Amino acid sequence: MTTAHRTPNWLIKVYGSEHGIPHFHIHCPSGRASVAIANGAVLAGSVPKRVLNEAWTWAEEHAEELLAEWHRLNPNL
Query: pLDDT tens, 20-48?
Result: 899 999 999 999 999 999 999 999 999 99
- Maximum C-alpha span of the chain: 34
Does 18 have pLDDT greater than 90?
Answer: no
The span from the CA of 68 to the CA of 73, in Å, is: 9
Q: What is the pTM of this model?
A: 0.93
Tell me the average pLDDT of the chain.
Answer: 95
In terms of Cβ atoms closer than 10 Å to its own Cβ (0-12, 13-18, 19+), residue 59 is buried
Does 77 have pLDDT greater than 70?
Answer: no
DSSP state of 47: -
Residue count of the chain: 77
End-to-end, the C-alpha distance of the chain in Å comes to 16
Q: Say how far residue 60 (Cα) sits from the centre of its chain.
A: 10
Does 7 have pLDDT greater than 70?
Answer: yes
Q: What is the mean pLDDT of residues 3-32?
A: 95
